[in-house]
Amino acid sequence: MFLEPIDFASMYKEHKKQTVFKGKNNKDWDNRSKELAPTMQNSSYVGEFISRMDICKEDVVLDIGCGPGTLAIPLARLAKQVIAIDFSAQMLAELETYAKKEGITNIKTYHIGWDDNWSLLPEIDIVVASRSVEVQDIGASLSKISSHAKKACYVTYKAGGSFVDMDILEFIGKKIITKPDFWYIPILLYKDGYLPQIDYITSQRGSIKSSNAEEFIESLIWSLGSLDEAQQDKAREYHNLFIETNQNQPKPFTWTFIAWNTLKGFPLKCKLQTTK
C-alpha cells in the first residue's frame, strides 16, 4: 500500500503566510544596519559556521543575505573570491567599509536578493546562506542555490519556530503562529535527491535586546510586529521580575546548520561538530 505524497513545499508556503514572524524588507534592514553591524561582525557564531565548511583557496563563494560582512570577510581570507549579495544597500555599505578597514580586496558586492535574477553572477563553487533563508518559496530557493553551487551549499535556519522565548510569550499573553521550522529544508533536499547533513550552532545573542525595559519591548515588537498596551505592561513586568534580577535572561538562539553536496546522491564530507 502506497501513501499519497506530501507536498512539503506548498505546506511551507501556507505556513509562512500564517506565521506572526513576517520577513523584514530592505528598508527595515537599512535602518538597523549601523546598529547591527558591530555585533554581527564580531560573533563566535562565525567561527562555528566556518569550521563546519570544506573550503579551499581556489573556491568562489556566494554569500546570500551577506549583511555587514559577518561571513563574507572571514571567508574572503580563505577563498579565491566572495560574491556578496544583499537586498539592503546599507548592509552592503557596511560590508564595504569593513572590508576596506580589514584590507580585503577579493569581495564583489551585488545589490540583489533571493528573488532577483542571478544571471550576472560568475560561476560559484560554494553557496552560503547564513541566517538569511527567510523566503516565501523554500522549494524554489533551495533549487536555485543548489543549481548555482558546483560543490556544496551551507545554510543556517532558526530551530524552534520562534524568534522569541516561548516563556516570554506565555507570560505576556501573546499568542503566535510559529514560523516554519527547519525540518522542511532537509526533507525537500532529500526529496530532490540530495543527502543533507545537519548540525546545530548556539548563538549567545538573539534578536531580543534587554538592557532596559523599553529596549526589551521595542525588540519584542520588532520580532512580533505588534504588542497591545496590556502585553507591553506585562513585558515590563517580565523584565523587572526576571531580566533585571538575572533570574531568567532571554535564551540563546539555536541555528540549524544544513550542508549538502550539490552532486545528487553523494554525502558531503563536511566537518560537523558535536554539540555540547
Exposure string over 84-95, b if 16+ CB within 10 A, otherwise e? bbbbbebbbbbb
How far is residue 207's CA from residue 184's CA, in Å, rounded to a whole number? 23
Q: Which three cell numbers stand for residue 210?
A: 534587554
Cα distance between residue 246 and residue 154, in whole Å: 36
Instruction: Summarize pLDDT for 110-132 with one digit per residue, the tens.
Output: 999 999 999 999 999 999 999 99
Q: Examine residue 53 and state whether it is found in any structural domain, yes or no.
A: yes
The verdict on residue 212 lying in a domain is no
**Percent of the chain whose predicted confidence (pLDDT) is above 90:** 66
pLDDT at 209: 74
Domain count, the chain: 1
Distance from C-alpha of 14 to C-alpha of 137, rounded to nearest angstrom: 10
The predicted pLDDT at position 245 comes to 81
Q: What CATH number has the domain bearing residue 46?
A: 3.40.50.150
**257 lies in some domain:** yes
- Looking at the domain assignment, is residue 235 inside a domain? no
Q: For residue 255, is it within any domain?
A: yes
Q: Residue 79 carries which DSSP code? A: S
Look over the chain and give the mean of its residue pLDDT values, rounded to a whole number.
Answer: 88
Residue 43 lies in a domain: yes
Whether 14 maps to a domain, the answer reads: yes
Please say if the pLDDT value at position 107 is more than 60. yes
Q: What is the percent of the chain with per-residue pLDDT over 70, rounded to a whole number?
A: 85
* Mean pLDDT in residue range 5-33: 77
Domain that holds residue 98: 8-162+178-206+251-261
Question: What pTM was estimated for this model as a whole?
Answer: 0.87
Establish if 223 belongs to a structural domain: no
